């Protein structure tokens, strides 16, 4: 149980570290609409989604981690307000939304991948049951986890990748909690150049 908790903390710290080391990735915001939304789109990984921007929205950072087995991309969405605060060294960072994209080398389904990769799925800390869902037209699982923060989670195995979407929050009435569902619903898988 201690290893799972350490894994959950490590996942949060990876996201915060990526944000702090890379700063805001302006290229990831491909389109900004009048209603303060942006579309993150990456043809390289065949994935896109919409999220709120501006003072009432989020700042997105993107990194390509090195040294993490099969981790292809890390996306962190932090509230605009939290992104403009100093995070104390060694202190707890704010609640964030993360999307981690892994190579699915064993072609596992979402549930099997989550069960085998508990350091990233935190499925052993689930509250209640795991439910089957559809995200972006692909089969997925959804569940809630209790850790440093409570988080809603969606894991989607699609094509050659597994997408781990996590929305951490302190309060059920927070914007982070309310905005995670629409972000997951906006997910779309797009064709990868050179693949049919």
Taking only the tens place, the pLDDT of each residue in 52-85 is 999 999 999 999 888 888 999 999 999 999 988 8
Q: Is the pLDDT of residue 93 over 90?
A: no
What CATH number has the domain bearing residue 172? 3.40.1000.10
Neighbours of 7 (CB within 10 A): 19
Average pLDDT, the chain: 84
Residue 19 lies in a domain: yes
Residue 95 lies in a domain: yes
Residue 194 lies in a domain: no
85: containing domain: 2-189
Q: Is the pLDDT of residue 146 over 60?
A: yes
**In whole angstroms, what is the distance from residue 83 CA to residue 73 CA?**
20
Q: Is the pLDDT of residue 92 over 60?
A: yes
Beta-sheet strands, E only, within the chain: 31-32, 37-42, 47-52, 58-63, 71-79, 97-103, 126-135, 138-146, 150-158, 161-169, 188-189
Q: What percentage of residues in the chain have a pLDDT greater than 70?
A: 81
Residue 196 lies in a domain: no
pLDDT tens readout for residues 26-60? 333 444 444 699 999 999 889 999 999 999 999 99
CB under 8 Å to 109, separation ≥6 — which residues?
139, 157
pLDDT class for 194, splitting at 50, 70, 90? Answer: low
Residue 38 main-chain phi, psi, to 5 deg: -130, 160
Q: Name which of 105, 180, 187 is nearest 138 in CA terms.
A: 187
Per-residue pLDDT, averaged over 90-118, amounts to 93
Number of domains into which the chain is organized: 1
Residue 169 lies in a domain: yes
- Distance set, CA 41 to CA 84, 178, 190 (Å): 24, 22, 9
Residue 195 lies in a domain: no
């Amino acid at each position: 149980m201690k290893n799972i908790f350490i894994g959950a903390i490590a996942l949060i710290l990876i996201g915060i570290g990526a944000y702090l080391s890379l700063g805001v990735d302006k290229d990831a915001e491909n389109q900004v609409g009048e209603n303060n939304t942006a579309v993150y789109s990456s043809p390289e990984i065949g994935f896109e989604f919409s999220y709120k921007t501006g003072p009432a929205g989020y700042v997105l950072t993107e990194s390509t981690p090195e040294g993490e087995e099969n981790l292809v991309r890390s996306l962190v969405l932090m509230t605009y307000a939290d992104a403009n605060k100093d995070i104390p060294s060694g202190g707890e960072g704010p609640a964030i939304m993360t999307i981690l994209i892994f190579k699915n080398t064993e072609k596992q389904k979402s549930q099997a991948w989550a069960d085998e990769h508990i350091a990233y799925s935190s499925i052993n800390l689930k509250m209640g049951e795991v439910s089957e869902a559809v995200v972006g037209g692909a089969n997925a699982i959804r569940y809630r986890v209790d850790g440093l923060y409570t988080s809603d989670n969606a894991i989607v195995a699609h094509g050659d990748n597994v997408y781990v979407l996590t929305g951490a929050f302190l309060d059920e009435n927070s914007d982070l909690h309310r905005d995670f569902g629409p972000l997951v619903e906006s997910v779309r898988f797009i064709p990868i150049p050179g693949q049919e």
